[in-house]
Every structure is written in C-alpha cells, then in structure tokens.
Amino acid sequence: MTRQIEIDPALIDRYLASLAKFGAYGETGVWRTVYSPAWVAAQDQVAAWMEEAGLEVRRDAVGNVWGRLAGSEGGSSIVSGSHIDSQRPGGRFDGALGVIAALAAIRALKEQCGTPRRTLEVVSLCEEEASRFPASNFLGSRAITGAITPEDAEQMIGYDGETMAEAMRAIGLDPARLPEAQRDDIDIFIELHIEQGPILEQAGVPVAVVTAINSIRHYVVELTGRSDHAGARPMDMRLDPMAGAAEITLGVIDTSLRMGRPAVTTIGKMEVEPGGPAIVPEKVTFTIDARHPDPETRLKLFQAHEEWMRAVATRRGLELKWTITTDLIPCVCDPELVRTLQVAATEAGIPFVTMSSGAGHDTQRMANIARVAMLFVPSKGGRSHTPAEFTTTADAVAGIRVLADGLQRLAYGDERA
C-alpha cells in the first residue's frame, strides 16, 4: 500500500536558488564547468544538503557525490540523480533540477515513510555537458559504468589547453584511481530532467514518462572540389563543394521531415576553405547530427543520409569523406519501470504524456549497468542550454511527486519492477 508523498515547493525553490549562485552568470544564467571553483562549491553544497537530509554521503574517484539511504534488505541500489555541470553559459535547471528532484524525493520518503526495504541513493554526477573538455561528455556516468580510464584523463584536452588529469589533481582527485568509481551494484537508475523541447508546454501537461532516448550519430563531412576565381570560372565548369554542401544540407533535412517525428537532422557547423568572398571554395567541412529513438528506423535514416551524400558528390564531381565521431545506440527504457511511473502519475492525479527523448542523457550510459527510466518536466518555450531556460515550481513539484511515488513503489512496497 503506497501513500501520497508530499513535496515542499519552498524547499525546491530554496535548493534551486541556492545552487544557481555557484557560477551565476548574469541574472538567470549559470557558468559551472567540471572541476572549476564554482563546480567544487556546488558539489559541496549538494553534499551538505544530503547530510542535512540524514543520508550517508561519500564522493567517488571522479568527483560524483552520493547520498545513501540504506534499505533493510540490502541488495542492489535504486539510484536517482543527474549532473551538476552547465554549458558556458547555461541555465539553472538543466541537470541541476534532476539532482534536486532526487534529493527532495528521497528526503521526503525518509521523513514520511522511514527506512526503505531497498537501498535508495541520490547521485550528483560530476559532468555531462563536455563544456570544459570536449571529449569528456557523460564523464560521471561513464566512470560509474567503467567506460573511462586514467589514460583517457591524461589525453583529454580542455578548451584552455589543460588536461582532464591536471584539472582533477588541482582539486585533490587522483586520475589513477578513476577505476574505483565503477559500480556493479546498481539495479535501477531514474533521472528527472527538463524536456529541452516544446512538446509538454504545447500539450499543457506537467510530466512526461520517457520510453526511449534517441540514438545520436555525428558525422564530420569533407567535400573537396577545386578553388577558382568567383568571376572568371563559368558556373557549368565549376567543382564547387559549397554547392554540394548546400544540396546535401537541404536533402538530409528534407529526409527527416519526410520521415516525420521523432526523426531529426541538424547541420550545426560549417567551415569553408579558403573562405574568401571572391573565391570558389576548395573544401567545405560540416557536421551532421542525426537522431531517432527506434533501433531499426535510425539505421534507415542514417542509410538515407549516406546514400544522398554519395549521390550529390558523384553528380557534382566532388571528393567525399566522412568520419563518424559519435554513434550512440538508442536507449529503450525498462518497460516495467515505465509502467510504474505511469501508474504513480495516474494515482497521484498528475496529467502526463509518454514520449521519447530527443536529447542525450546520462541515463543512456547508466543503461549499460542498470534498468533505467526518465521523467521530463516542461521547459518554457522548449529552451535549454541557455540562461533563458525556465521551469515553474509547480511543474517541478509535479515531476518530483511522480518520482517520489515511483521510488516508494520500488523501494518500500511489494512492487518489483
């Protein structure tokens, strides 16, 4: 038999406002990169809140902070949390709200339900955004799942030229001990996050139960032609890689449009060489970000993009090369955990929708060692990775109530999702 868990809105406001002071940027922004002084202070604050909530607090070798509420039956843990770092600049909700949600939910469960049968843990992950070290994203969850080594830390170079290992040592962490962060005793991981898109706001619904997280494939594409004078070389005699890049751009975007939601494709970066206004380019390098949550459909999307690139390059006489720099497979959330969260929302009287995630999350990494699920709450205007991101307290509390009720079913009741 479950009871409805009460979440104090004032506590959520206090947590959010206090955490936003660490790395505050302008009126509403946050600039809090991993291992920076602002990040260290923020993790210290989270640890203090965990202790205040009566949890056992520890820090692991990569800098993740854990708060543990031991269960009477022991066994593998049920974990909830998110990341504490931000974009440069970002907002005060991305990642941070998930940490606060987990802490508030488990604090409320401890106060209102006492000792759980199964162990509950909050985690404040050290890094997800790769905003200081471009090759580091999902650092905290990668360390937990054993997917990062001391050698990786020595080789990761930051935007300011320092290595990850140097940044770790500067705050008292030893990169040689990174393997100690790995865990094999986590059964379930549930992450609450802002949606980062417009679906919930447009639907007027405060919560989404996530069924899958997109695959992500990043291409770096090089099209090479021949540099010529912009006035003297006739159009029909050109080998113009910019024209090819433009045609490829329109084609791959049109492919996603024709496939329909949730297929998405983005051209986010383009470099032109030599880059003169009166010069036909020699080479154009650009990125393609393609995503789909269905394991089979994503392959059809990627195949269509690659066939189109080859066709355009062949027809225009251009040399084509590409490198796949990121290739994350879709993460399908555990069906029983999804059902548990849906039932929790229904019985709490909180409206919800079921949807896939267009963005990547630490949950994808945690799925390598645990069963996973996610909850979304609205972000105003669908904004994220910007100081303009905003989630109302009412929506945040609605999501945290669903999280707390779901955790109660899993850790206190007879429900064994």
Domains: count for the chain: 2
Same-domain status, 54 and 170: yes
Q: Which of 312, 328, 344 is the last residue of a domain?
A: 328
Same-domain status, 274 and 133: no
Tell me, yes or no, whether 4 lies in a domain: no
Over residues 101-112, the mean pLDDT reads 98
Q: Which of 328, 362, 395 is the last residue of a domain?
A: 328
Is 416's pLDDT higher than 90? no
Model confidence over 164-217: pLDDT tens digits?
999 999 999 999 999 999 999 999 999 999 999 999 999 999 999 999 999 999
Token pair 């904004």 is at which residue?
Answer: 383
Domain extent, residue 60, equals 9-213+330-411
Residue 325 confidence class, pLDDT cut points 50, 70, 90: confident
Over residues 263-274, the mean pLDDT reads 97
Percentage of the chain surpassing pLDDT 70?
99
**Could you tell me which residue, 137 or 370, shows the higher pLDDT?**
370
Same-domain status, 200 and 337: yes
Same-domain status, 109 and 47: yes
Same-domain status, 305 and 383: no
Identify any residues that bridge with 373 across adjacent strands, giving them in sequence order: 190
The Cα–Cα gap between 227 and 236 comes to: 14
Same-domain status, 16 and 159: yes
- Single pTM value for the model: 0.89
Residue 415 confidence class, pLDDT cut points 50, 70, 90: low
Q: Which of 328, 347, 372 is the last residue of a domain?
A: 328
The CATH number of the domain where 379 resides is what?
3.40.630.10
Same-domain status, 205 and 317: no
Same-domain status, 98 and 189: yes
Residue 326 confidence class, pLDDT cut points 50, 70, 90: confident
Q: Using CA of residue 297, residue 302, residue 303, residue 308, what is the dihedral sign?
A: positive
pLDDT of residue 328: 85
Is 86's pLDDT higher than 90? yes
Same-domain status, 13 and 59: yes
Cis ω on the peptide bond leading into residue 378 (within 30° of 0)?
no
Query: Mean of the per-residue pLDDT values for the chain?
Result: 96
The CATH number of the domain where 298 resides is what?
3.30.70.360
Same-domain status, 67 and 164: yes
Tell me, yes or no, whether 1 lies in a domain: no
By the 10 Å C-beta count (0-12 exposed, 13-18 middle, 19+ buried), 132 is classed as buried
